[in-house]
Structure 1
Amino acid sequence: MYLLPCPHCEVPAAVSPARAGDRIACPHCGQEIAVPKLGELRQLPTAEGDETVEKSNARAAEGRANRPTVLFTALGLLAAGLFLAAAFCAVNWATIRIPMTTEGHIDEFRQAYQEVSSAQMIREWEEINRNGVDLPAMYQYRVMELDKWAWLRNAGLFSGAGLLAVIGAVFVGRSGRASGA
């Protein structure tokens, strides 16, 4: 609704845009008022005045204020998920028991070779030279050791990513609070 001043009594009359180009009666003096065309009508002040503009601005500001909250929540959930994944990896790392290490394996060979006769050592040496040393796969303890360290590496990576998500959430939270204040 637009406020059209009466040319007779100067009291503004509320006019809807649908009445553009029409004639209305003044609510105060009853005289007929010619309503201008829509382009001219839109140049007049509105009946709602500044309240409509303020409400519109408030809604827009509220929408902008909610953006940091949504981003903060998303980053917080991401951080929680990453920390859960890190905990899962850490638990798997902690539960893997390696029965032997490479050093222990070498010590076993040293002890075994101390108990073997010289003739047996020479036969084994000749067999190695003739056939070569063929290890089709890694020893099982070595596979387990590599798996264990992979779990630890993944736990570290998830923890680092979770920490970055927390830092991002704190940054977004603070910037949202600063812009909302």
Structure 2
Amino acid sequence: MISAMYLLPCPHCEESAEVSPARAGDQIPCPHCGQNIPVPKLGELRQLPTAEGDAATEKSKAKAAEGRANRPTVLFTALGLLAAGLFLAAAFCVVNWATISVPLTTEGHIDEFRQAYKEVSSAQMIREWEEINRNGVDLPAMYQYRVMELDKQAWLTNAGLFSGAGLLAVIGAFFVGRSGRASEV
């Protein structure tokens, strides 16, 4: 059975020396200043902190401090990765926006109608007017160019949203990195 080592404070330099219970009632030299330290009797010696307990306490304190020190690094890395992902998503949206070419705009479509109506006879215009009054002007679906216009606008809007969120993540990472550096000092 291995007996515990106890920490005995030196009365001369106030540093601690390890002592075994077998040395109770004896004297040991201080490992720091070299002066002799009287070792108390076994009952008093057992009242002192153990070397193993102190080492375990120091080890757990060091581990906790290391965990606190790593927190800003982990958060900084997570925010950096989030920002990179958001900027990639924004780039994807911009590429999709750029690849959609709308062959016709609403203004162009109206101009085509104006041009066509200039070439239509008055009788044909009256017939169309009567048909509109009878059937209404509701379209069963949007024109294809309008659907393409709306898709293109949606890609651009999404790119802006992803870029804004990415910028916020970069700003957050900057502040986390800065606060982590400040806490190290």
Does TM-score exceed 0.5, indicating one fold?
yes
- Residue of structure 1 equivalent to 2:20: 14
Instruction: Give the distance between the partners of 1:59 and 1:4, measured in 2 at CA.
Output: 26
TM-score, length-scaled by structure 2 = 0.76
- Residue of structure 2 equivalent to 1:102: 106
Instruction: Give the distance between the partners of 2:50 and 2:23, measured in 1 at CA.
Output: 18
What residue identity is the alignment partner of 2:183?
S
- Residue of structure 2 equivalent to 1:140: 144
1:2-151 to structure 2, matched below 5 A, reads 2-3=6-7, 13-15=19-21, 26=24, 28=26, 35-36=42-43, 41=46, 43-47=47-51, 54-151=58-155
Instruction: Give the distance between the partners of 1:113 and 1:12, measured in 2 at CA.
Output: 106
What residue identity is the alignment partner of 2:68?
R
Query: Can you list the C-alpha shifts for 1:84-138, whole angstroms capped at 9, x where unaligned?
Result: 0000001101110000010100000000000000011111111111111130111
Instruction: Give the distance between the partners of 1:54 and 1:4, measured in 2 at CA.
Output: 17
Q: Which of 171, 175, 178 is the matching residue for 1:171?
A: 175
Count residues with an aligned counterpart: 162
8 Å CA contact 2:8, 2:18 repeated in 1: yes
Q: Which sections of structure 2, spanning at least 5 residues, go unmatched?
A: 10-16, 28-39
* Residues 1:73 and 1:142: Cα distance change in structure 2 (over 3 Å): same
Instruction: Give the distance between the partners of 1:179 and 1:49, measured in 2 at CA.
Output: 29
Shift of 1:2: 2.4
Shift of 1:62: 1.4
8 Å CA contact 1:3, 1:13 repeated in 2: yes
TM-score, length-scaled by structure 1 = 0.78
Q: Share of identical aligned residues, percent? A: 80
Query: Can you list the C-alpha shifts for 1:36-56, whole angstroms capped at 9, x where unaligned?
Result: 49xx94x41333697665544
Q: Structure 1 stretch 134-143 or stretch 55-64: which is displaced more?
A: 55-64
Shift of 1:12: 7.5
* Residues 1:92 and 1:12: Cα distance change in structure 2 (over 3 Å): closer
Q: Which sections of structure 1, spanning at least 5 residues, go unmatched?
A: 6-10, 16-23
Shift of 1:147: 0.4
Q: Please provide the CA RMSD for this pair.
A: 2.9
